[in-house]
Amino acid sequence: MDELSHHVPGLEQNAEIRIDTWGVPHIRAASQHDAFFAQGLSAARERLFQLDIWRKRGLGLLAADFGAGFLAQDRAARLFLYRGDMAAEWAAYGTPEARAITEAFVAGINAWIGLTEQDPSLLAPEFAAMGTRPQRWAAADVVRIRSHGLVRNVLSEAARAQVMARAGLETDLARRSIDPPHDIVVPEGLDPSCVPEDVLDVFRLATCALDMSPERLAASLADAWRWAKVSDLGDVYMQGSNNWAIAPARTDTGRPILASDPHRAHALPSLRSVVHLTAPGLDIIGAGEPALPGISIGHNGTAAFALTIFPMDQEDLYVYETEDGRTRHGDGWEAFTVVSETIAVRGCPDQIVELKFTRHGPVVREKPGLAFAVRSVWSEPGSAAYFASLAYMGATTVKAFEQALTHWSSPSVNQVYADTSGHIAWFAAGSSPIRPNWDGLLPVPGDGRYEWAGFVPASQLPRSIDPARGFVATANEMNLPDGYPSDIHLGFEWAEWSRSRRIHDVLDRQPHHSVSDSAALQTDDLSIPARRLGRLIAGLPGPAASLLRGWNHRLARESAAAALQEVWWSKHLKQALLDLLAPNPAVRRLLVPGDVETLLGLLETADPLLGDRDALLVRTLGAAWADCAARLGENPADWAWGKLHHGAFPHPLARVADLPGVGRLPKGGSGSTAMAAGYRLTDFKVTTGASFRMVVDVGNWDASRFINAPGQSGDPRSPNYADLAPLWAAGETVPLLYSKQAVDAATTLVIRLTPAAR
């Protein structure tokens, strides 16, 4: 076992960080202040470049380090910062310690930055590669940055208006289906054709990840706005999660089991970081985002908790009539609020940018006579993503957990819970705007006719406590309970049903569920869309149909049929359906990637729009067979889904610096399987899914399991940089150790922290 020691200012008493075999830091401190301080220091030690970019991207400070190519992105990010009262902000999270915890956390980050200044060998190699330095943090930085949070549905509102203007609302269902059934009403005063395709380019730019290229780094001021457009948001519709909690009566041990696998865009390092914090009154372990104190998914030795996205509609696009720098409101006019800010640009003079705001939010697009602004819960106090988890980390009863969730705003989530008393629960949580006279599915005029009337009270959000079924489970599906009031419009756009149905089917059939069963379900590769399509090709001729008829509909990485199925569905059948539904190329482009439920429903009902359905199936199957032969060889015995479908974690600086990535790793599954593994069509690389998975044996904590790919560390020099990636690709997990005895036995490195002399 190796040992290191550091003297750090800001620490009150001695503390230690024990790194276990799998890279989990187990922090032991004499006070909660020191525990969160050490968490910040530990996060910076392993993830400093990730943290520095997170802060600079969110605050709009990239151009100072990387040049004029990032000027437009800096301006966009600043539009979406929280600009309200900070006292109200800190008070909104349900714990009076929110500010103090955050101050301790960022003091730990800053202490590590100070150590790197004393000893440059401690600095992550990315800084040397880019010629930059990390900047120190303020506590407000953690909560003012909103643009990394997952809220919705402004992108969909704009796309729906654009499809409607060209083809009608029925066609738009091929882009996004609506549930519960609902007749979309076009808001009075809205002309859908006025919404330009680039209306949300600034919003996309504000929320996109860092994109480095030699051309962008070399950009001059004259070229700066060339990088003002983002082509996509990284499969934003495919980001979600699975979670469940199983009651004692349904498990093999008589203890609850809780499982979680959040599905987000894959990155290096991982979005999540696992940490264990122990101090008087605090003993929590689990995952959070590295730039936030505490955890949002994990357990505290009595209760376990986990979240998935519950797709509330938390955004609106407002359309304004404008004249002479003013917007129409009621019978009068209101001036824009204009803020001028200075942005430092490497190698260039400082640039002054103008930010415009309306009463509803930042202006993202103007054209003659019109302006467009985004209203989001981001502008409300208490809406920093996941930060409200500070309120429930210590909850040990259902009632305490429920009370903590009354402060949860963003992102809107399904929270599941299980405790050592045997209770399980599910709660929907988040700020859901009340829209008295519209449904939120289309943009609305900003003239005062369409205003939020507060938020749906937490007491009116759906929940389930100790259900007779013996489990709660969510997968971003439409899970409003039967009889839920139809006049409470929480949202209409949900994930497809495939993952949820598979999870519920498996759990319903297991009378004695185990930890290993949960781990297996998290990596389950059965495709319900493939099974549904299999019924349609039962009598079709040809080798392709024959291969799929003899298949179990599992997208296993070694399966030839899985390769054919996914190439057929994603690159041929789905594309042919969209071509039929949208002959207009402008509309066709807006429908991508296509709604699974709508498109499968058209096939299953043999909709007249399709013409000869069987001929369509045979034609596209034949094209997919030829496609597979070209990609994988003429002999189907040589085909395998994992030869196409693969995980990879390229370094974010791969195009501009010689720094190692991780991959290529054969993968099974798809975005429609419980093992969510959504991929891009160009090369079948997995882009979204569960890089972090956790299964908690509630009460027998050391029997819990996790994985965090590609590894716990973001430092290429660390043994924990890529060590978990092969296990992740194979669907395996490692121990999530909690007891002192187990942690001590697995420790490979001890970092001793002592206060610096004052």
pTM over 0.75: yes
**Euclidean distance between CA atoms 353 and 342, whole angstroms:** 6
- Is there a domain that residue 542 lies in? yes
- Is there a domain that residue 541 lies in? yes
Asked if residue 66 lies in contact with residue 131, where contact means CB atoms within 8 angstroms, the answer is no
- Is there a domain that residue 327 lies in? no
Q: Looking at residues 302-326, what average pLDDT do you find? A: 97
For residue 322, what are its two tokens? 């404008």
pLDDT for the residue numbered 758: 64
Q: How many domains does the chain have?
A: 1
Task: Indicate the pLDDT class of residue 326, thresholds 50, 70 and 90.
Answer: very high
Element (H, E) at 85: none
- Is there a domain that residue 211 lies in? no
Residue 491: pLDDT over 70:
yes
> Tens digits of per-residue pLDDT, 198-210?
999 999 999 998 8
Q: Is residue 462 helix, strand or coil?
A: coil
Q: Looking at residues 19-29, what average pLDDT do you find? A: 98
**Euclidean distance between CA atoms 172 and 246, whole angstroms:** 38
Q: What is the CATH number of the domain that holds 567?
A: 1.10.1400
> Tens digits of per-residue pLDDT, 562-602?
999 999 999 999 999 999 999 999 999 999 999 999 999 99
Q: Looking at residues 109-125, what average pLDDT do you find? A: 97
Q: Looking at residues 111-122, what average pLDDT do you find? A: 97
% of the chain exceeding 70 in pLDDT:
99
> Tens digits of per-residue pLDDT, 342-365?
999 999 999 999 999 999 999 999
Give Rg (Cα) of the chain: 26
**Euclidean distance between CA atoms 465 and 63, whole angstroms:** 49
Strands 326-329 and 315-323: antiparallel
**Euclidean distance between CA atoms 74 and 353, whole angstroms:** 10
Neighbours of 731 (CB within 10 A): 19
Q: Backbone phi, then psi, for 722, in 5-degree steps? A: -140, 10
Residue 149: pLDDT over 90:
no
Task: Give me the long-range contacts of 110-118 (CB less than 8 A, separation at least 24).
Answer: 110/10, 110/40, 110/136, 110/137, 111/8, 111/9, 111/10, 111/11, 111/37, 111/40, 111/41, 112/8, 112/40, 112/41, 112/44, 112/45, 112/48, 113/44, 113/48, 114/8, 114/9, 115/6, 115/8, 116/48
pLDDT for the residue numbered 757: 75
- Mean pLDDT, rounded, of the chain: 96
Task: Indicate the pLDDT class of residue 150, thresholds 50, 70 and 90.
Answer: confident
Range of the domain at 560: 528-646
Residue showing tokens 């730990």: 108
Of 649, 689, 659, the residue nearest 671 (C-alpha): 689
- Is there a domain that residue 101 lies in? no
Residues in the chain: 758
Residue 236: pLDDT over 90:
no
Element (H, E) at 747: strand 747-755
> Tens digits of per-residue pLDDT, 672-710?
999 999 999 999 999 999 999 999 999 999 999 999 999
- Is there a domain that residue 85 lies in? no
Compare 379 and 240 and report the one with higher pLDDT.
379
> Tens digits of per-residue pLDDT, 635-672?
999 999 999 999 999 999 999 999 999 989 999 999 99
pLDDT for the residue numbered 229: 86
pLDDT for the residue numbered 148: 86
DSSP string covering 95-152: -TTHHHHHHHHHHHHHHHHHHHHH-GGGS-HHHHHHT-------HHHHHH--TTS---
- Is there a domain that residue 587 lies in? yes
> Tens digits of per-residue pLDDT, 443-476?
999 999 999 999 999 999 999 999 999 999 999 9
- Is there a domain that residue 42 lies in? no
> Tens digits of per-residue pLDDT, 34-61?
999 999 999 999 999 999 999 999 999 9
What residue type is assigned to position 111 of the chain? A
Residue 240: pLDDT over 80:
no
> Tens digits of per-residue pLDDT, 246-294?
999 999 999 999 999 999 899 999 999 999 999 999 999 999 999 999 9
